[in-house]
């Protein structure tokens, strides 16, 4: 309890690094005031991975940015790296009424004292807590980005509660975003949000893809061979890579089943699983865990902050997920020039282009997955064609710099609209007595 108390009370931290800031979008142009922006996530790895360059862009373009998340090392590291402030509030990913109430109270108190112009949340729990807390703290602009719905694979009262939390998040937000067109449609169809309140920024994705970081030239050649050697994979092997949580809802059961079948006939085939197990939230069946542990050509490599090096060492990327908001790792793989095999579900259908950059298969269908992987494994020409098309599409539609610019423009637009509404209401009350 003492540790929890001290982590909540940890003072707002400001990076000591000083970076030159520019204002290409006209942020605060002609005025001294800075836009005070708070980004909230349940866990800080999202800041440190997918959102890092977007957050850096906000700071460089004049935003006074504060990151709020669970008080972990990654939170302070990310803030120091980009020149932002950070504040730690413990938040549990799983439902925990007492802990959630405590997190809500401290978040509300923090937001009330800081007087932010914009609060923008990402991830379900952070969205729910910050929607209520920021509304009660009278934050003028309250945003949330939906990145997938955990309740899709739930049933009964658990699904109802999780759905209701998303519904409340949408009701209390000034504006909400979906990271794909298909997810936007799904949320409207499921009566989570009204159509006029939700939009997709650009062509989707939460932050696009950094083409300098995810570069096949940068991670090919000697680096490719080095990563394979470090992973225990021969240089001439044909490698399938999965990146993400190693859980049932990511399709790991089907992937391991399909790979085991193919590996019996193709002795050059290897599988890399890059990501953490989650035995408490979504455990894999014991038999699947045993197969992963004992199969000589399945390499469970754990979580990595450098997924690009494993993509550079692979020949095929596979994400047979049951649910996604968008599937950012699919466009990262495409940017690395890899052919992609994904499931035909909400989100992923927007991340790829069927039969142009990827093969799509039904979810929870190990046989169909095996056929798609077999087709790619046996055709170098098909792999090259899909991979080249994927790289071009990622560069055209999901360049991170364009996505980040679009996000900041949205901030400015909605803030100016909010200010205009408040000014109009003040004038109406003052001069018209309404």
106 contacts: CB under 8 Å, gap ≥ 6 = 8, 89
Same domain, 125 and 236: no
With respect to residue 27, please indicate whether it lies within any of the assigned structural domains.
Answer: no
Q: What is the pLDDT of residue 35?
A: 81
Same domain, 229 and 104: no
Name residue 271's beta-bridge partners: 240, 298
CATH of the domain at 135: 3.40.50.2000
With respect to residue 321, please indicate whether it lies within any of the assigned structural domains.
Answer: yes
Contact 321, 248 (CB under 8 A): no
Euclidean distance between CA atoms 139 and 115, whole angstroms: 7
Q: What is the pLDDT of residue 152?
A: 85
As for how many domains the chain has, the answer is 2
Q: For residue 108, what are the domain limits?
A: 2-14+34-208+400-431
Same domain, 230 and 368: yes
Sign of torsion, CA 195 200 201 207?
A: positive
Tokens 């059961």 belong to 253
Same domain, 378 and 404: no
Full-model pTM: 0.84
With respect to residue 26, please indicate whether it lies within any of the assigned structural domains.
Answer: no
Region of residue 300 (left: phi > 0; alpha: psi -120 to 50; beta: else): beta
Same domain, 238 and 140: no
**One pLDDT digit (tens) per residue for the chain, 434 residues:** 333 333 444 445 544 444 444 454 344 444 445 689 999 999 999 998 889 999 999 999 888 999 999 999 999 999 999 999 999 999 988 888 899 999 999 999 999 999 999 999 998 999 999 999 999 999 999 999 998 888 888 889 989 999 999 999 999 999 999 999 999 999 999 999 999 999 999 999 999 999 999 999 999 889 999 999 999 999 999 999 999 999 999 999 999 999 999 999 999 999 999 999 988 888 999 999 999 999 999 999 999 989 999 999 999 999 999 988 888 999 999 999 999 999 999 999 999 999 999 999 999 999 999 999 999 999 999 999 999 999 999 999 999 999 999 998 888 888 877 766 655 454 445 444 44
With respect to residue 78, please indicate whether it lies within any of the assigned structural domains.
Answer: yes
Alpha helices in 179-251, H assignment, sequence order: 181-189, 216-219, 221-230
């Amino acid at each position: 309890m003492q540790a929890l108390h001290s982590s909540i009370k940890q003072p707002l931290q400001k990076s000591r690094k000083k970076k030159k800031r520019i204002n290409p979008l006209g942020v605060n142009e002609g005025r001294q005031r800075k836009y005070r922006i708070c980004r909230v996530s349940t866990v800080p790895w999202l800041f440190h991975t997918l959102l890092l360059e977007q957050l850096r862009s906000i700071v460089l373009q004049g935003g006074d940015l504060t990151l709020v998340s669970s008080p972990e090392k990654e939170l302070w590291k990310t803030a120091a790296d980009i020149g932002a402030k950070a504040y730690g509030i413990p938040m549990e990913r799983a439902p925990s009424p007492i802990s959630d109430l405590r997190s809500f109270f401290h978040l509300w108190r923090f937001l009330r004292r800081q007087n932010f112009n914009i609060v923008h949340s990402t991830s379900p729990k952070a969205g729910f807590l910050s929607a209520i807390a920021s509304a009660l703290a009278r934050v003028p602009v309250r945003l949330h980005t939906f990145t997938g719905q955990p309740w899709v694979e739930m049933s009964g009262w658990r699904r109802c509660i999780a759905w209701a939390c998303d519904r409340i998040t949408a009701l209390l937000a000034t504006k909400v975003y979906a990271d794909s067109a298909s997810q936007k449609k799904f949320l409207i169809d499921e009566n989570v949000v009204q159509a006029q309140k939700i939009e997709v920024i650009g062509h989707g994705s939460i932050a696009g893809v950094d083409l300098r970081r995810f570069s096949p030239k940068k991670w090919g050649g000697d680096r490719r061979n080095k990563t394979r050697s470090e992973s225990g994979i021969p240089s001439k092997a044909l490698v399938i890579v999965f990146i993400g949580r190693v859980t049932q809802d990511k399709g790991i059961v089907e992937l391991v089943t399909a790979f085991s079948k193919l590996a019996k006939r193709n002795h050059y085939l290897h599988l890399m699983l890059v990501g953490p197990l989650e035995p408490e939230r979504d455990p894999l069946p014991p038999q699947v865990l045993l197969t992963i542990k004992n199969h000589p050509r399945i390499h469970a490599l754990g979580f990595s902050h450098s997924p690009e090096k494993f993509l550079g060492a692979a020949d095929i990327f596979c994400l047979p997920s049951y649910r996604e908001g968008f599937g950012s790792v699919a466009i990262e793989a495409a940017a690395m020039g890899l052919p992609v095999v994904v499931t035909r579900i909400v989100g992923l259908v927007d991340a790829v282009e069927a039969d142009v950059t990827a093969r799509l298969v039904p979810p929870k269908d190990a046989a169909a997955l095996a056929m798609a992987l077999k087709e790619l494994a046996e055709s170098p020409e098909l792999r090259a064609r899909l991979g080249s098309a994927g790289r071009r599409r990622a560069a055209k539609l999901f360049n991170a710099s364009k996505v980040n610019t679009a996000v900041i423009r949205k901030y400015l637009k909605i803030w100016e609209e909010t200010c205009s509404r408040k000014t109009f209401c003040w004038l109406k009350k003052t001069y018209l007595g309404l």
